[in-house]
Structure 1
Amino acid sequence: MSNYKDVIEKLIEFRDERNWEQFHDSKNLALALSIEAAELNELFLWKKEHELSEVNYEKLKEELADVLAYAFLLAEKHELDVFDIVLDKIKKNAVKYPVEKAKGTAKKYTEL
Structure 2
Amino acid sequence: MSDVRGDAVVTVAELKQQVKEFTESRNWGGGHRSKNLAMSIAIEAAELMEHFQWLENDDYAAEKLTEEKREQVRLEVADIAIYLLSFCNQQGIDLAKAVHDKYQINEKRFPVEEWVK
TM bucket, shorter chain? 0.7 to 0.9
- The equivalent residue for 1:60 is 73
Q: How many Å separate the matches in 2 of 1:103 and 1:30?
A: 35
Contact 2:23 2:29 in 1 (8 A): yes
Superposition RMSD in Å: 1.5
Q: Which runs of 5+ in 2 are unaligned?
A: none
Q: How many Å separate the matches in 2 of 1:46 and 1:103?
A: 32
Which structure is higher in RCO with an 8 Å CA cutoff and minimum separation 6? Answer: 2
- The equivalent residue for 2:11 is 3
Structure 1 residue ranges (4+ consecutive) displaced by more than 2 angstroms after TM superposition = none
Residues matched between the structures, number: 104
- The equivalent residue for 2:22 is 14
Residue 23 of structure 1: SS of its match in structure 2?
coil
- Report the TM-score when normalising by structure 2: 0.81
Q: Which runs of 5+ in 1 are unaligned?
A: 105-112
| 1:14-93 alignment, distance < 5 Å | 14-52=22-60, 53-54=64-65, 56-93=69-106
Q: How many Å separate the matches in 1 of 2:114 and 2:94?
A: 30
Amino acid at match of 2:41: L
Equivalent pairs: percent with the same residue? 32
